[in-house]
Amino acid sequence: MNASKRTATSGTRGVTLRTAGLSLRLDVRGAVVGLLLIAVALVMGVVLIGTGDFPIAPADVVRTLFGNGTVAQDFIVNELRLPRVLVGLLVGAALGQGGAIFQSISRNPLGSPDVIGLGQGAAAGALTAIVLVKGDPGVVATGAVLGGVLTGLAVYALAWRQGVHGYRLVLVGIGTSATFTAVNGYLLTQAHQEDAARAVMWLTGSLNGRDWDQVWPLLAVCAVLMPVALGQARNLRMLEMGDDSAYALGVRVERTRMVLMGAAVLLVASATAAAGPVAFVALVAPQLARRLTRSPGPNLLPAAWMGAALLVTADWAAQRAFGADQLPVGVLTGMLGGAYLLWLLVTERRAGRI
């Protein structure tokens, strides 16, 4: 019986492994960057679990996570703080991957869920549940998901003209975002004082008070949709070359685009439902991941890991960087992301792309 031949060839961007009938391209730099981002996210998660009114050393946090802590440590770590960190990791990963999909489909770094109105649409759904329905947190989360999904469908329909393309998607999204901003402002003016305070707290984007009720639904969404998106990564890379080139290479363009946009919309809407509209993570994470990996592709996994690392790091900074004042994480990401957006606009203008 003949043994399978295995060969490996290397190039400037990675290594190609070949066996009988199979070929696997491994981007070494991308894999290393991904492992480092996972390490950063996990380390910052442990540090964040140990942060609070009752500080716990990282070694004690790890020991408690493996079931060897005291009764008090077990309660604080596993019941109070671990769910918050897991929600932060999942929300960051969902926003990072969702942002990478939208930026790749639009072939535009501004094609982010923040810019094209998904966050504002999800916020409109949540505010409707808070102000008009007086719903509990479960109803508010459902309203946010429905608002995000309906906004995604509206943007797709309005941007359609023999396909959905780059700047049309961004421009339609900007208009949609402005519209929902006005709707949200109107809803706030109609709210009673209690509901208005609750709505404003939700709109800031925060991980405060998150528990296992938010972890499990978001984990299920990520476990289903992230593999779906990754399964379309090769086709997404072809779409970046243009529809005509993708058609020539055998890609079912509109079917692929609809599957990817559907997955991205649900990821972003679910993340928003769990933590509120955490600004700019979906814009920044894919860009930073692409710069680190130096890969022109969609970088779906590195973007997800970057989003997770960014969000837990931002949450830790929001608790520690301002003295006794603890900011919601959405406030900090909004400040930093706004500065990044201005820099990105200046860069795109100088490059002649806007």
* Polymer length of the chain: 354
Measuring CA to CA, how many Å separate 303 from each of 92, 99, 215?
A: 9, 8, 20
Which stretch of 7-11, 154-158, 228-232, 292-296 has the lowest confidence by average pLDDT?
7-11
DSSP for residue 75: I
- pLDDT tens digits for range 92-120: 999 999 999 999 988 888 888 888 889 89
Tokens of 173: 């999204």
Q: Which of 82-91, 272-281, 299-308, 343-352 has the lowest mean pLDDT?
A: 343-352
- Dist CA 180 CA 39 (whole Å): 38
Contact 75, 290 (CB under 8 A): no
- pLDDT of 127 > 70? The answer is yes
Interval 184-217: pLDDT, tens:
999 999 888 888 888 888 888 899 888 899 999 9
200, 256, 261 from 164: Cα distances, Å:
34, 12, 11
Question: Tokens 């649409």 map to which residue?
Answer: 121
Q: Which of 237, 252, 239 is nearest to 169 (CA)?
A: 239
- The whole-angstrom separation of Cα 53 and Cα 319 is 11
Model confidence pLDDT, tens digit, residues 37-77: 999 999 999 999 998 888 999 999 999 999 888 899 999 99
H-state helical runs in 50-192: 58-65, 71-74, 82-106, 118-127, 137-159, 166-189
Q: For residues 254 and 258, what is the distance between their CA atoms, to the nearest angstrom? A: 6
State how beta strands 7-10 and 15-19 pair. antiparallel
Residue with tokens 């946090």: 61
Q: Which is higher by pLDDT, 161 or 142?
A: 142
**What would the mean pLDDT of 337-354 be, rounded to a whole number?**
76
Strand order, beta sheet including 22-26:
7-10, 15-19, 22-26
22-26, 135-139, 211-215, 291-295: range with lowest mean pLDDT:
22-26
Residue 80 DSSP one-character state: I
What pLDDT, on a 0 to 100 scale, did the predictor assign at position 164?
67
